[in-house]
Structure 1
Amino acid sequence: MCIRLLACKANWNIPDQCLEFISKILLDATPTKIGLPKSYYDAKRLVSKLGLQAKRIDCCVDGCMLFYDNEYGKNDGALLECKFCHKSRYRHHNTGASNKKPVAVKAMFYLPIIPRLQRMYASTQTTGQMTWHYDNKSSNGVLRHPCDGEAWKHFDTVYPIFSMEARNVRLGLCSDGFNPYVQTSNAPYSCWPIIVTPYNLPSEMCMSKPYMFFSCLIPGPFNPKAGIDVFLEPLIDDLKKLWSGVPSYDISRKENFMMRAMLMWTINDFLHTVCCMVGELMVNWHAHIAWSIQRHLYYIMGGKDSWFDSHRRFLPNDHAFRRNKNAFKKGEVDMDPPPPKFTPTQVWNRVKTYPKVTESGVQRIHGYREWHNWTKRSIFWDLPY
């Protein structure tokens, strides 16, 4: 009942006083009053015990860094200005003359993913479905679920210990920007939600609304672009913990176990920063595409990268599409060979010396758009898998 009351407030922006009025109606109309909230504060206090909290993390106004501490050696939570651009963390920083709490210039919200995954095994409605991928693999070669795909099978081969435990979680991540205000506003605003989805579930469940976990909200008003890695740092920290394993309880077997998880892939705009840096599973794909810079077009007016008509070079030399002058770029044929493929080791050797955004701020690496298309080394490369 408390969750439904809070959902009413969130979905329809109901004032606190209205929610108090509704709770009093429930108390007056219900003979059994035990457990019902007497106020909006009681409802929030009870729901907070579920452990599904949200963290507000201050960040640099230009997106250079987060004022954030973690257990991997980052101790920036007490800083008063950005380490890179030296802009103030707060709007009006008080030196102690006032008791007012300083207000951050910019902040993001992070909803920890670990307790949400643990609750999948703590609920009788979902714990049995979390091993569906292990017991229902296709035996006739038909692709019904991502577990039937080559990427999933390849990962099982590379990490057999992980795949032996059916309760270990395979995750997908998606992101995109949207304008939460009127589209025709004179002051455009773009914020970026980050959604994490467990792919252990059956096909009809894994992409449904209840199981698309909202993990981060990157604030606007502008596209984070190459600096999106900075805002993903809390999520990366949780992914590192999940790779090592976190103690969890399986209510169906009534036993404790070490739940592990890995990021399988991302769903987002082509050549999005996250998509290019997921890890070993996508290295071959990225190496095959990202170095194809002969076709790299950059629209100066719009500031957009485009790889239009760079796909025909992967076709056989005698394919009809290569000589088609009407369906692709007007009046042009494409007889160029495909770019060379690189092994994961070769790609790593090329990018391992590049700085991360969190080490030196957002910057351009020498040779960008000339002989490479990398903007930085992503923090995804630091994940152990």
Structure 2
Amino acid sequence: MSSAYSIWPVILVPYNMPPWSGMKQSSFILSMIIPGEKSPANDIDIYLKPLIHELQYLCQGVQCYDAVSGENFMMRAALLWTINDFPAYGMLSGWNTKGRFACSCCAHNTESLWLYKSKKFAYLGHRCWHSSSHLFRKPKQYFDNIYELRSVPSRISGSKICTEL
């Protein structure tokens, strides 16, 4: 936390190999390092643009040569998912991960509670994602002194997200 410099590595992991060899450090591909005094914040898309263009190009397919079989083949690549910390998640998704509506799953139905002494938000409404018979739904004394009676929030459709944007 006291460091005056920040480095954000972008690492690609191939998933067409067995886990015992694909998850070794020697298989990781360090595609870029984003340097700076602070996090890239909203400019992360500028840094990732060349990588995105290459992945789009590889998604269409590139003619490659297989030295073992001696034949050409069409190589394709796709981004399956990203693994990142919460601040990077906010930058990549465009969702504000601070404040009253920090949960991207609950969106505007986020149950948040302002803690006056610590001057922070607490998010206690995630018990609604458990089944109605789950043990965590009942004991109100361990949470915020309320029984969790809400049902699982419905997923937001793509058209609703576009409308909000």
What is the TM-score normalised by the length of structure 1? Answer: 0.35
Distance of aligned partners of 1:256 and 1:274 in 2 relative to their CA distance in 1, 3 Å threshold: farther
Pair 1:320 & 2:131 matched: no
> Which of 309, 313, 330 is the equivalent residue of 2:124?
309
Q: Which residue of 2 aligns with 1:212?
A: 28
Looking at structure 2, the residues matched to 297 and 251 of structure 1 have their Cα atoms a distance apart, in angstroms, of 60
2:105 and 2:22 map into 1 onto residues whose CA distance is 29
SS in structure 2 at match of 1:267: coil
Contact 2:106 2:153 in 1 (8 A): no
Distance 1:233 1:198 in 2: 20
Distance apart, 1:241 and its partner CA? 0.4
1:197, 1:298 → 2: CA distance?
39
| Counterparts of residues 55-70 of structure 1 (less than 5 Å) | none
Aligned partners of 2:57, 2:105: CA distance in 1, in Å?
31
Q: Which residue of 2 aligns with 1:338?
A: 152
**Equivalent residue number for residue 115 of structure 1:** none
Structure 2 residues not aligned, in runs of 5+: 95-103
Aligned to 2:125, the other structure's residue is in SS state coil
1:262 aligns with 2:81: no
Equivalent AA in structure 2 for residue 310 of structure 1: G
Q: Is the 8 A contact 1:292 1:339 kept in 2?
A: no
Structure 1 Cα separation of the partners of residues 75 and 64 of structure 2: 6
Note if contact 1:242-1:259 (Cα within 8 Å) is conserved in structure 2. yes
Contact 2:59 2:77 in 1 (8 A): yes
Number of residue pairs matched by the alignment: 154
Q: 1:309 to 1:226 in 2, by over 3 A?
A: farther
Query: How far 1:217 sits from its partner (Å)?
Result: 1.1
Kept in 2, the 8 Å contact 1:291–1:339? The answer is: no
Unaligned runs of 5+ in 1: 1-182, 278-287, 355-385
> 1:235 corresponds to which residue?
51
Aligned counterparts of 2:17 and 2:112: Cα–Cα separation in 1: 39
Give runs of aligned pairs for residues 29-44 of structure 1, distance below 5 A. none
**Residue type matched to 1:321 in 2?**
F
**AA aligned opposite 1:268:** N
Tell me, in whole angstroms, the C-alpha distance in 1 between the residues paired with 2:5 and 2:92: 23
* Residue 98 of structure 2: aligned partner: none
Contact 1:266 1:274 (8 Å CA) reproduced:
no
Q: Which has the higher contact order (CA 8 A, sep 6+)?
A: 1
Decide whether the 8 Å contact of 1:246 with 1:259 is kept in 2: yes
Q: Which has the higher strand share?
A: 2
Aligned with residue 199 of structure 1, among 15, 18, 39: 15
- What percent identity do the matched residue pairs reach? 33
| Residue in structure 2 matched with residue 166 of structure 1 by the alignment | none
**Distance between the aligned counterparts of 1:275 and 1:225, measured in 2?**
9
Rounded to whole Å, the distance in 1 between the matches of 2:42 and 2:132 is 36
**SS in structure 2 at match of 1:263:** coil
Change (3 A) 1:338 1:226: farther
